[in-house]
């Protein structure tokens, strides 16, 4: 079984640009806790490097070089004494900020350096592969992305491969390790699980977290196998032509419910069969299908591959969200993520 990797609020790669002002500001260093290679950081915040970073450089430049401690919580008795409550809190030791509270006794802290050290095990400590790194809020959520050397080739279209790791110190999420393909031409993250495949590995904060993280390193060895299978899927999608009528049917099957699909199949147009809100989405996807970034190429034009990229492009470049955080959550693990996976499944039958 192939296994790949996808991660968290979370947040990612070039797509990390959607997060905006939830970056942690480190008052001691007077800098935002974000570092990015080559390109300008979010809204000019954070540190920009001339090239990719080593893990050590990323931890320092993104202000991730802090430790977290776990301490018991106390309650006051009627007699005025303080006793342990049975729950625990995590505290950032450089600022004494509380990151998480009401954690269980089995919760195990995984330091930032420990969470990201397997990059060094894989490629060596001196290798520069880190593209982005940072932490959000008070430092409770941290992330790091590494650009992997191999890319997926679909005719003349390249899909870079990134490895994304995120970790929380407040008990809200596990350590997530995931593989994220990114379409170079428009930076669309193509987060899909292949048949019989998972798209990420989640490691809970238990006493075995370090051993489980070591196991995740072994899972990375299947990266090339995943690359080959995904490349085969995309190239097969590129070879399948799609007419305008077939594209409309695909969108109705993707977005419509059972009764709406039945009505469309009875001869009604999608304007008549679907609701006003869904028709608005369809028109926006169709516009991106014809006019979106990277769509006017032989690889994408009138093909299943172009239809798939129209969905990812719509979600990341057209659809409006209430906030950057909601955008990321929607695309990476919410309804947007499920929509992309469903589209991939429909186009690979």
For 14-67, write each residue's pLDDT tens digit: 444 434 457 788 888 888 888 888 876 655 678 889 999 999 999 999 999 999
Predicted confidence (pLDDT) at residue 186 exceeds the cutoff of 70: no
Least confident of 43-47, 288-292, 311-315, 340-344: 43-47
Cα–Cα distance, 231 to 228 (Å, whole number): 5
Average pLDDT of 224-244? Answer: 86
pLDDT of residue 272: 96
Share of the chain above pLDDT 90, in %: 41
Q: Across the chain, how many H-helices and E-strands are there?
A: 12, 13
Predicted confidence (pLDDT) at residue 194 exceeds the cutoff of 80: no
Residues 196-206 have pLDDT tens digits of 555 577 888 98
pLDDT of residue 7: 29
CA distances from 116 to 124, 166, 175, 252 (A): 12, 9, 10, 42
Average pLDDT of 165-187? Answer: 79
Cα–Cα distance, 87 to 98 (Å, whole number): 14
Q: Is the pTM of this model over 0.85?
A: no
Q: What is the SS3 assignment for 34?
A: strand
pLDDT of residue 40: 67
In SS3 terms, 271-331 reads as HHHCCHHHHHHHHHHHHHHHHCCCCCCCCCCCEHHHHHHHHHHHHHHCCCCCCHHHHHHHH
Q: Which of 10-14, 142-146, 260-264, 290-294 has the highest mean pLDDT?
A: 260-264
Mode of pairing for the β-strands spanning 141-154 and 188-189: unpaired
Predicted confidence (pLDDT) at residue 13 exceeds the cutoff of 50: no
Domain boundaries, the chain: 14-65+110-223, 240-346
Predicted confidence (pLDDT) at residue 236 exceeds the cutoff of 50: yes
Cα–Cα distance, 224 to 184 (Å, whole number): 19
């Amino acid at each position: 079984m192939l296994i790949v990797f996808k991660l968290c609020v979370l947040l990612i790669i070039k797509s990390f640009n959607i997060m905006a002002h939830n970056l942690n500001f480190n008052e001691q260093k007077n800098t935002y806790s974000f570092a990015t290679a080559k390109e300008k950081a979010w809204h000019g915040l954070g540190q920009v490097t001339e090239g990719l970073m080593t893990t050590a450089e990323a931890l320092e430049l993104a202000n991730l070089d802090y430790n977290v401690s776990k301490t018991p919580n106390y309650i006051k008795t009627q007699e005025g004494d303080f006793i342990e409550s049975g729950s625990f809190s995590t505290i950032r030791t450089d600022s004494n900020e509380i990151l998480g509270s009401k954690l269980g006794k089995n919760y195990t802290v995984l330091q930032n350096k420990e969470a990201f050290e397997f990059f060094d095990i894989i490629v060596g400590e001196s290798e520069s592969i880190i593209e982005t790194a940072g932490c959000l809020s008070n430092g409770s959520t941290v992330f790091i992305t590494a650009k992997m050397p191999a890319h997926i080739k679909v005719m003349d279209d390249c899909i870079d491969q990134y490895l994304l790791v995120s970790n929380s110190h407040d008990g809200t999420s596990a350590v997530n390790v995931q593989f994220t393909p990114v379409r170079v031409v428009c930076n669309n993250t193509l987060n899909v699980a292949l048949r019989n495949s998972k798209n990420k590995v989640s490691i809970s904060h238990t006493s075995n977290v370090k051993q489980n993280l070591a196991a995740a390193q072994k899972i990375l060895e299947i990266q090339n196998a995943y690359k080959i299978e995904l490349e085969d899927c995309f190239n097969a999608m590129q070879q399948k032509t799609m007419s305008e009528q077939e594209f409309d049917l695909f969108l109705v099957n993707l977005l419509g419910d059972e009764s709406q699909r039945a009505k469309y199949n009875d001869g009604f147009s999608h304007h008549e069969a679907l609701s006003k809100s869904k028709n608005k989405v369809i028109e926006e996807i169709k516009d991106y299908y014809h006019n979106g970034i990277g769509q006017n190429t032989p690889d994408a034009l009138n093909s299943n591959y172009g239809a798939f990229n129209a969905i990812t492009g719509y979600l990341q470049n057209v659809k409006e969200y209430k906030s950057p955080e909601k955008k990321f959550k929607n695309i990476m693990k919410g309804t947007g993520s499920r929509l992309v996976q469903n589209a991939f499944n429909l186009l690979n039958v």
